[in-house]
Amino acid sequence: MDKSEAILKINQLRELLKENSYRYYVLNAPTMSDYDFDQAMKALEALEAQFPELITPDSPTQKVGSDLERGFAQYPHRYPMLSLGNTYSIQEVEAFAQRADKALGKGFTYCCELKFDGTAICLNYVDGKLFRALTRGDGVVGDDVTANVRMISNIPHTLKGKGWPRDFEIRGEILMPFAAFERLNAEREEIGEAPFANPRNAASGSLKLLNPQEVAHRGLWCTLYHIPSQSVAFRTHDEALAAAADWGLPVSDLRRLCNGISEIEDYIEYWDTERKKLPYATDGIVIKINEMEYQTALGFTAKSPRWAVAYKFQAERALTRVLSIDYQVGRTGAVTPVANLEPVPLSGTVVKRATLNNKDWMEQLDVRVGDSVWVEKGGEIIPKITAVELSKRPSDSVKAAFPEVCPDCGTALVSREEEAKWFCPNQDGCPTQIKGRLEHFLSRKAMNVIAGEATVNQMYNLGLVSTPADFYDLDERSLLMLESWKEKSVKRFLDSLEASKQTPFEKVLYALGIRFVGESTAKELAAHFGDVDSLAGASLEELRAVGDVGDVIAASVYEYFRDPRHMAMIERLRAHGLRFSAAAPQAKASDALAGQTIVISGNFSISRDAMKALIEANGGKNSSSVSGKTSFLLAGEKAGPEKLRKCEELGVKVVSEKEFMDMIPSAAAPAVPAIEKEPTLFDL
């Protein structure tokens, strides 16, 4: 490779690594596996070693990934908080041990520990009390998350025993045990929020919540594994950790002192199996020189200590057979291929199905019925097929054919230029889409009627409902036809249905399920046109004149109201008493946000609806998408990664909830509930 080719490749690798580092540390939504990230980093290191004149200070090889976020005070680390060099090869661990032998001679030991899969933390104790907790940040500066760390039940606020230094730091990992992770995801799915992909993402996101009370609810756990040698006067790393345990700090007791490479390899081999029995995620083994004086002598590279290395376990995977491939139709008509697998145990569960994402991805893998395939979890909840074992492919295998028609209703599928998925366009005749829209109509953010998927399925299959208007024709007699429904269930549903008639126009409009019309767009359309008749009669030009409504949304709304079936349904809903005109605007609290267009994303100390109302009450305008016209993004916990990336691209300011509340009069801002007490127990 000549220098010009190297420059091109180096720039490509740097961009790839920077983007995925941002997604990993800040958004907690990585799109690249740890293994692929590490391999890309090694490729960049190799090129920079070959062309050292191309190394720059901002190269990912020269700095630690950053998790710094707006909304938190930031403080410098007393000592740089570096990352570890990673390897997936026992041979590289052996090479590390050989370098140590050559540099140090005899008389030293190794301390081997589990590599916990969480988010890094640095705790500072002063006079025996927790003074400050910082995230890794960029290795030099970290976010102050002290208030949140105080909510983690196994982190002591006051040390016990004696002998602790007056002022010292100790570092470790904030984890989310599997039990807490499963509980949290069940809660998120129940309220319609996307589940976290893995415990590491959940732990990192939870640590950056703006409400410490919510942190207490998340069930985080801490394990500590390193005291910087400058902070304490111990002969060995192991002695320092033993002392920390005596002071009441949560130090893992699963470490082992090793005298050479054979003992290190025994430890790695043991935990490669036994880690599956632990109540939290681990992804490798950390091998450290135990003696503090030798750690000091070996020193550091720009981003890693020379006296330690991390051996990472390969992602868990299993080989199984594809029994069949289903093609599922979603609520929007998108068709997704799903492989049905011969049941296989993987990461503590039995895997029977794995998504194939879309037609292009399925064809790229060339997955066929009868194939033996490698399935991985690698910390992820959703199993994925990563490769076909071609050596085991049956000689009579046939290439899988993605359907040309909808597997539910038989309508010819279509693809949209901007999307990878194929869709069934038969919105009003495809059973799966019909039931999906019925569920959407009743959902909490729409009409908020007490009913779920099972209820809608029963009603549809019995021929009781096929459009939202049909719900309001139901009576006690027809509802008693439903399996397990008694008088109490019927009354509860009918009361909920009656209460839904007070739902404001913008929510009714959202409940109709018009494609591309989300909550914010529905609210904009309702406010702009005032009633459904004006909206239904609007031209494409008039629709495009509304706020952030562009060509795609305008066309979708226009076409929806040109369909006689939709208009007939709306007339039926109106006859039942649903609201199809906007209420009179409420008096403003202030003009503090006058002329500002604001996009909100994430979760806040108050509901999102309340936050949007607060914006409007203070003269601001809500928008659903980030554009050049956006004044700022109001970002709560777990703000959308695409919105954050768009803000970065366009230079749009990102504002935290606290910063936002400071913008408006205190009388208009709701009080954030005080923390009544701190939890003291945590049940794994």
Tokens of 95: 């090479």
The beta-strand segments (E) located in 270-316 are 282-289, 308-312
Query: What is the DSSP-derived secondary structure letter of residue 93?
Result: H
- Conformational region of residue 620, where left means phi above 0, alpha means psi within -120 to 50, and beta covers everything else: beta
Distance CA(198)–CA(180), nearest Å, equals 11
Residues recorded for the chain: 684
SS3 195: coil
Burial group, residue 46, by CB count within 10 angstroms (0-12, 13-18, 19+): exposed
Say if strands 349-355 and 334-346 run parallel, antiparallel, or are unpaired: antiparallel
Helices and strands (DSSP H and E) totals, the chain = 25, 22
Distance CA(174)–CA(71), nearest Å, equals 20
Cα-based distances in Å from 329 to 336, 410, 435: 7, 11, 11
Q: What amino acid occupies position 506? A: E
CA 550 to chain centre: 28
Tokens of 57: 């200070």
The torsion angles phi and psi of 662, rounded to 5 degrees, stand at -70, -20
CA 546 to chain centre: 32
Angle between helices 453-461 and 431-442 in degrees, nearest 10:
130
Query: CA angle, 352 as apex, 350 and 353 as ends, to 5°?
Result: 130
Neighbours of 22 (CB within 10 A): 19
Tokens of 146: 């002290």
Distance CA(494)–CA(489), nearest Å, equals 9
Distance CA(98)–CA(100), nearest Å, equals 5
Say if residues 359 and 402 touch (Cβ distance below 8 Å). Answer: yes
The catalytic residue positions are 115
Say if strands 414-415 and 349-355 run parallel, antiparallel, or are unpaired: unpaired
Neighbours of 273 (CB within 10 A): 8
Q: What amino acid occupies position 148? A: N
Distance CA(111)–CA(375), nearest Å, equals 34
H or E stretch including 352? Answer: strand 349-355
H or E stretch including 20? Answer: helix 3-25
The beta-strand segments (E) located in 220-333 are 221-226, 256-258, 282-289, 308-312, 317-329
The torsion angles phi and psi of 351, rounded to 5 degrees, stand at -90, 125
Q: In this structure, is the dihedral angle defined by the CA atoms of residues 158, 160, 163 and 164, taken in order, positive or negative?
A: negative
Sheet holding 119-126, edge to edge: 129-135, 119-126, 167-175, 221-226
Burial group, residue 381, by CB count within 10 angstroms (0-12, 13-18, 19+): middle
Say how many Å lie between the first and final Cα of the chain, rounded. Answer: 53
- Candidates 429, 365, 431, 445; CA nearest to 402 is 365
The beta-strand segments (E) located in 238-348 are 256-258, 282-289, 308-312, 317-329, 334-346
Distance CA(75)–CA(169), nearest Å, equals 14
